[in-house]
Structure 1
Amino acid sequence: MAGARLVAAEGEITGLVGPNGSGKSTLLRTVYRHLKPTAGRVLLDGRDLREVSPVQSARHVAALPQERGSDFELTVREVVAMGRTPYKRAFAGEDATDRDLVAGALSGVGMEGHAGRRFTALSGGERQRVLLARAFAQDPDVLVLDEPTNHLDIRHQVELLTLLRAQRRTTLVSLHDLNAAASVCDRLHVLHGGAVVASGRPRDVLTTELMAQVFGVRAVVVDHPLTGDPLIAFDHRDPAGAEAAVVSGTGRGSHSAPGHGSEG
């Protein structure tokens, strides 16, 4: 992707949404250093992350990527405790801070009763929650989450999104579920064809016109009857109706205030 610029403001949840292949995962991989940008920079509080050692970077940024290891021959607690690795010297044991953070992370994802189970014996949703707990135990300044609700049932999806909001930690998250994104995110960046085509508050960005132009579906945006958040109602009977829609504009909003940023 080229020419993409986005900002994740401190303490906010910033969402990336867009069709498959739009560049969401690629952009996130540059933030947690799985990929090196061919141009541009990833800045954390104004400092280029490439100027920071991998260990120091891991103290600031924790990631839950889509391609996740599933062959850990470890217990649930041992997997979560791996999040404390950036803070430990070689062969150093756990201290009280480590134990408290690991316990809190397990409790936060509802897995405190499974600490002694083998990771390989867990369901896909349970593994997802354990790996999220590992990221929480890392106690980062920035969380980078690539489709964190994958493999979770409805209840655990809702609980996860509630947990993210309660943390108030700077979070950069990609989501396929636009209604989830509208509910949990303070700001959205819409990607299409490798470019950021709209940025702003969910209510300003997720418009009928954008649904047609970017996602190719017919939809209306209404207020959620329970929360008041934007709720996107899709036309499942005639989804291709959007192709014939005559629309103008993309519902673009303004960029957020300076914070943690990526540009490329």
Structure 2
Amino acid sequence: MRIAVEDLVVSFSGRAVVCGVDVVAEPGEIVGLVGPNGSGKTTVLRTIYRHLRPAAGRVLLDGRDIRKLNPSRAARHVAALPQERGTDFELSVREVVAMGRTPYKRAFSGDDTSDRDIIATALEQVGMVDHGGRPFSALSGGERQRVLLARALAQQPDVLVLDEPTNHLDMRHQIELLALLRAQRRTTVITLHDLNAAASLCDRLHVLRDGVVVASGAPRVVLTVDLLAEVFGVHAAVVEHPLTGDPLIAFDHNTPAESATIS
């Protein structure tokens, strides 16, 4: 499915924190939102998965205003992995993942064979198939992250909305997660602080600063030395990754860019 954010404005206490943002993810495309802290990335995502109501603009799912869909139908199409995640579930890992099947269930109905197969597949995809009986509350931060991603996958959505999904993951599991997202080729809108991960994963990037999109395009077009200095406040060189051919950003950790304002 195609997701389109059109002329989005989101305000808090009368102050616009996102202003005039346009973002499009075509079917099967992975689109990244990058930018400094406070630039509005998470606010845009929250609007896509209906956690926030925009002051102006709209989010279209295959041309339909997502606010006009009932919550259950919207949840069948869009699954989210937000940054703020409940960590006090008194449930097993499998029970948490089973929550992803809720949009397809009638009240008080249990899981059928199809649900159980979908849940097992989701756990396998994130490498947690052997942990289904463990208490969710006993997991490490990285393990919880993977279980919550499995819950989103169990929704079988057309669109995935992921806010910093590699947080708390060690390097191996970060790489496995990015490979999983690439292999699925599901319409995805994602925020990532790791610009090299974003350059490797995403088909297109939107760079936000102070609630406004300041650059859009393919990673190798967007991630320039000048933009990195102006928006992120860093000196860097952009070279070709010797293994993948993707843009690779080599940061100068000793010298911040004097001209940039870091928020």
Name the counterpart of 2:95. 78
Name the counterpart of 2:6. none
The correspondence of residues 94-243 of structure 1 with structure 2, limited to 5 A, is 94-239=111-256, 242-243=257-258
Return the TM-score normalized by structure 2. 0.91
Per-residue displacement from partner, 1:71-108 (whole Å, max 9, x unpaired)?
11000000000000000001212122211110110000
Distance change (3 Å), C-alpha of 1:213 and 1:244: closer
Q: CA RMSD in A?
A: 0.9
Name the counterpart of 2:64. 47
- Aligned to 1:213, the other structure's residue is in SS state helix
- Number of aligned residue pairs: give it: 243
Alignment partner for residue 77 of structure 2, among 60, 74, 80?
60
- Aligned to 2:86, the other structure's residue is in SS state coil
Contiguous gaps of at least 5 residues in structure 2? 1-17
| Contact 2:35–2:208 (CA under 8 A) maintained in structure 1 | yes
Post-superposition offset of 1:224:
0.4
Q: Structure 1 CA distance, aligned partners of 2:110 and 2:85?
A: 26
Post-superposition offset of 1:244:
5.4
Q: Structure 2 CA distance, aligned partners of 1:39 and 1:231?
A: 37
Structure 1: which amino acid aligns with 2:152?
A
Q: Structure 2 CA distance, aligned partners of 1:141 and 1:68?
A: 21
Distance change (3 Å), C-alpha of 1:67 and 1:237: same
Post-superposition offset of 1:216:
1.0
Q: Structure 2 CA distance, aligned partners of 1:87 and 1:129?
A: 22
| Contact 2:230–2:259 (CA under 8 A) maintained in structure 1 | no
Q: Structure 2 CA distance, aligned partners of 1:57 and 1:162?
A: 26
- Aligned to 1:236, the other structure's residue is in SS state strand
| Contact 2:178–2:201 (CA under 8 A) maintained in structure 1 | yes
- Aligned to 1:125, the other structure's residue is in SS state helix
Name the counterpart of 2:11. none
- Aligned to 1:203, the other structure's residue is in SS state helix
- Aligned to 1:103, the other structure's residue is in SS state helix
Per-residue displacement from partner, 1:101-124 (whole Å, max 9, x unpaired)?
101100000000000000000000
Structure 2: which amino acid aligns with 1:46?
G
Per-residue displacement from partner, 1:59-80 (whole Å, max 9, x unpaired)?
0000000000001100000000
Q: Which has the higher strand share?
A: 2
Q: Structure 1 CA distance, aligned partners of 2:26 and 2:173?
A: 26
Contiguous gaps of at least 5 residues in structure 1? 246-264
Return the TM-score normalized by structure 1. 0.91
Higher relative contact order (CA 8 A, sep 6+): 1
